[in-house]
Amino acid sequence: MPLLHSRVSRNTHRKLVDKVHQRLASWKSNLLSLAGRATLIQADHWISTGPLLSHSNNLTPEQLNCNINSFVADGWWDIGKLRSMLSEDLVQQIISSPVGFNSDLQDALIWKHAANGIFTVKTAYELLFANIHQIEPFWKLIWKLKIPPKIQIFFWLAYHDKISSNDQRAKRNLASDPSCGVCGWTSESVLHILRDCPRAQSIWISMITLPPSTQFFNTGLKTWIYSNLLLKTEWNAETPWNIGFVFTCWYIWKWRNQYVFNEEEPLPYSPKTVILKAAREWSSQAYAPQSKTSKTQVSLAWKPPVAGCFKLNVDGSRKSSNGNIGAGGVIRNSVGDWITGFTANLGKGQILDAEIWGLFFGLKLAAERGISNLTVEMDSATAVQLTQRSGSSSSHPLAGVISDCRKFIDQLGNCGVYHVYREQNCVADSLAQASYNGDLGVCPLDSAPDWICSLLDDDVRGVCKTRLICLDIS
């Protein structure tokens, strides 16, 4: 909000109003839940690219007024029918949308900028002013740097012009002469000590093959410190410039005091070597792994279910290059025999969409086959949590699919969903990767494809894969 010194006119808040309009438009287009919309084509702003109506040409009034149910076949999207009316790109966006096919959830506005999907003024404010508060305050910048605490405090004081210079002391009547104790310049300010005094300048010139900017010797104290602290480009042997800058200032201050108070002690033969060594020693310690945690290698393997029970492994996958998502899964018995499986090419979406849709299709398959006593394993901890959290997630963007998954779980009876590591979920992982090779939609696999047999064998034989995990030993 601007500070106002003149009369408020129509234009005063124009920028703010425009911004609000822009954001509201993005809400409409991106943030609406899709669950249970009455009509597909006419419903506005279904997907991020605007109303479907504007993308669909030459449709009859009957087609335009189709109920969503008429696009559903066998408990999921009727891809053939969608393709007959919409472009392939739109079909790919629609089928990964988190629609609940069996759920009785009501339509809801879902605010995607909060993890729980519930609108709050705080998240809206943050969104609105996201680009305005990017300038980090100095104290944050300095306390975040991995440098010795005594140097942090020194910088805090220097930035606020509070280190003890002759200029400062003269102003407080603690000294009569404000001039530089080294070169005799009329005023020994903080900036003179750290940058402009010839002794300091000679060190800077030896430090920098390049001054980081031509402004280096021409800016005021605060700008000079702030802008150099921000500069993280590599300076020397993997030490970033801002760390080099900090240590150089510190040594200039230290050596200046030695000169003034220890009878004109000369500078080291190579100041740069001394400064670089100190900066490197500190960073190697500061960035060393914390002593309180240690990594340990564990051996992980797929475990078959007990006799008479079944295990479903599912996984989702996303290609970052084009945003395609897919899922895959397999149901096996207590001796590791393939009962059934699937791959699903799900168009475009996010990785969590893929994981949850993978679970949906795996459970659906189990329900269709009348399988009970089912253990489900997946390597997405978030997806597992979502299925387990009871009740409160009706505003989650994936609420529709999650609700369907829960229904299947109840229906199957004696069914639990658990998290495993990816090393224990290799077959499902490979199926998910292979999903991109198939057409959009689900491809059931009644027998194991040849290419996956060696992975299945590994699981049956209990072959272990190693993984480094962090242990907290505090």
Pick between residue 185 and residue 421 the one whose CB is nearest to Zn ion: 185
Please report the DSSP string for 411-437 in residue order: HHSSEEEEE--GGG-HHHHHHHHHGGG
Query: Binding string, 197-226, against Zn ion, x = CB under 5 A?
Result: x-----------------------------
Which residue, 176 or 447, is less far from Zn ion as judged by CB? 176
CA distance readout (Å), 164 to 189, 255, 256: 9, 15, 12
- Taking the least distance from each CB to Zn ion, the nearer of 59 and 267 is 267
Select the span of 30-38, 71-79, 192-200, 307-315 touching Zn ion (CB under 5 A). 192-200
CB of 142 to Zn ion, least distance (A): 25
Contact window for Zn ion (CB under 5 A) among 114-122, 194-202, 307-315, 435-443: 194-202
| CB 207, min distance to Zn ion, A | 18
Binding mask 134-173 for Zn ion (x = CB under 5 A): ----------------------------------------
Nearer to Zn ion, 256 or 364 (CB): 256
The torsion angle over the Cα atoms of residues 284, 287, 289 and 291, rounded to 10 degrees, is 80
Given the complex with Zn ion, which of 197 and 452 has the nearer CB atom?
197
Q: Does 278 bind Zn ion (CB under 5 A)?
A: no
Instruction: Give the integer Cα–Cα distance in Å for 108 and 396.
Output: 10
251-284 CB burial, b ≥16 within 10 A, e <16: bbbebbeebeeeeeeebeeebbeebbebbbebbe
Q: Is 182 in the site for Zn ion (CB under 5 A)?
A: yes
Please tell me whether residue 180 binds Zn ion under the rule CB under 5 A.
yes
**Rg from Cα positions in the chain:** 32
Token digits for 251?
A: 């040594």
Q: What share of the chain is helix, strand, coil (3-state, %, to 5)?
A: 45, 15, 40
Q: Which is nearer to Zn ion, 181 or 397 (CB)?
A: 181
SS3 of residue 119 by DSSP: coil
What is the CB neighbour count within 10 angstroms for residue 451? 9
- The count of chain residues that interact with Zn ion, using the rule CB under 5 A, is 5
Q: Is 183 in the site for Zn ion (CB under 5 A)?
A: yes
Least distance in Å: CB of 267 to Zn ion?
Answer: 14
Among 119, 185, 216, 217, binds Zn ion (CB under 5 A): 185
Q: What is the 3-state secondary structure (H, E, C) of 219-239?
A: CCHHHHHHHHHHCCCEEECCE
Closer residue to Zn ion, CB minimum distance, 182 or 383:
182
The binding site for Zn ion (CB under 5 A) comprises 180, 182-183, 185, 197
